[in-house]
Amino acid sequence: MKKRQTQARVPRCKKCGAPAVIYMRQHRLALCETHFQEWFVNYTQRTIEKYHMFGPEDRVLVAVSGGKDSLALWDVLTQLGYRADGLYIGLGIDEGTQYSQRSLEAVRGFMAERPGLRLYVVDMKEAYGETIPELARRVRRGRGKPCSVCGLSKRHIMNELALREGFDVLVTGHNLDDEAAVLFQNTLRWQTGYLARQSPVLEATHPGLVRKAKPFCRFYEREVAAYAIVRGIEYQYDECPFSVGATTIYYKELLNQLERHSPGSKFQFYTQFLKAKKKGLITFHEPEGEVVLRPCRICGQPTTAGEICAFCRMWVRPDMDLEEAKRSVPSLTFRVETSESEEG
Ligand code: SF4
Ligand code: ZN
Ligand code: ZN
């Protein structure tokens, strides 16, 4: 009896024929290590241009957490020649895990290999007197999890620092898996306001808001991870301990199941949504009268939450007058770290 051939065919790089390290089904593309790196960097540039994210003259602030996505993004933007500085926010999530401390070490390790980089560091404890878990416990928000306090603090600090330091755009390492999960969640609930705003670029719709962009929004998470590995980036592998059980993780798992049955479906789901919105085939609106942005009377950042924004409210008691309230909210402080420049 003839022996059946069981050995799988090794995919070959489409450009040079060498054994491929990755096959991307949605692009029908297999690439070797060298050509994958080249493709990844060029595809990021194409995404930046496709969605008019920023130009070569713009000052870019990259929100870095120490994870693979944000460090890979900083690496690519630097290779592409953009003027990109990093921003790291020390959340103080260290109780028993040293998560924040190890994240900062990963960022510093990354910088040590790349001369001439500049990093803004905001330490919650130093700047605001409390770590994120401490702040969340004091204000009793989020049912035992500090995520809502964390999210609102990060958004506030990133926006304030970017504007104060004169950056044109704030970029984050959100990938396709993140974006598709958010889209899935918002579609299931027909959250029209969120669907209207979900985009690779968020324009600064108010002078107190910085423009935001997500240059990795068309990469699968596995592609970003593969890029980080082939580039030798030593990132923080662990997720934040509070992310366990997050709803986004549940939606990501559902989409992964779908992807296993129908490869490329995540990519189609997200990119076709953007295409249909751009062509005007589907339109969403903010629920009428709900979104009125007014400057916070304490920090000046635009808010929908009334006179004082949700961030400042964490330090303000109802019996305080405006002057007392202003004194109670700590102001943003940061330090700047640089990696030794080759010339310097
Ligand atoms: Fe913050 Fe961790 Fe929650 Fe993410 S999972 S929002 S980093 S506390
Ligand atoms: Zn090749
Ligand atoms: Zn405020």
pLDDT tens, 158-198?
A: 999 999 999 999 999 999 999 999 999 999 999 999 999 99
| Enclosing domain of residue 253 | 51-286
**Which atom number of ligand 1 is nearest to the Cα of residue 146?**
8
CATH number of the structural domain spanning residue 274? 3.40.50.620
With a 6 A CB cut-off, is 283 part of the ligand 1 pocket?
Answer: no
- From 242, 244, 248, 250, the mutation candidate for ligand 1 (largest count of ligand atoms within 8 A of CB) is 242
Does residue 42 register a pLDDT over 90? yes
Is 335 a domain residue? no
CA distances from 341 to 70, 112, 281 (A): 21, 10, 50
Is 165 a domain residue? yes
pLDDT for residue 7: 57
Q: What is the pTM of this model?
A: 0.94
How far is C-alpha 76 from the geometric centre of its chain's CA atoms? 15
Ligand 3 center to 299 CA (angstroms): 4
Is 32 a domain residue? no
Query: Which residue's CA is the closest to the ligand 1 atom numbered 6?
Result: 147
Is 127 a domain residue? yes
Query: Which residue's CA is the closest to the ligand 1 atom numbered 8?
Result: 147
Ligand 3 center to 312 CA (angstroms): 4
Total count of domains within the chain: 1
**Average pLDDT of span 93-99:** 89
d(Cα 128, Cα 332) in Å, to the nearest integer? 8
- From 239, 243, 247, the mutation candidate for ligand 1 (largest count of ligand atoms within 8 A of CB) is 243
pLDDT for residue 1: 47
Q: Return all residues near 113 (Cβ < 8 A) that are at least 6 apart.
A: none
Is 334 a domain residue? no
| Closest ligand, as measured to the CA of 67 | 1
Query: Which residue's CA is the closest to the ligand 1 atom numbered 5?
Result: 243
Is 340 a domain residue? no
Strand 118-123 versus strand 335-338 pairing type: antiparallel
pLDDT digits (tens, 9 = 90+) for 221-242: 999 999 999 999 999 999 999 9
Is 295 a domain residue? no
Angle at the Cα of 229 (from 223 to 232), degrees rounded to 5? 145
Is 318 a domain residue? no
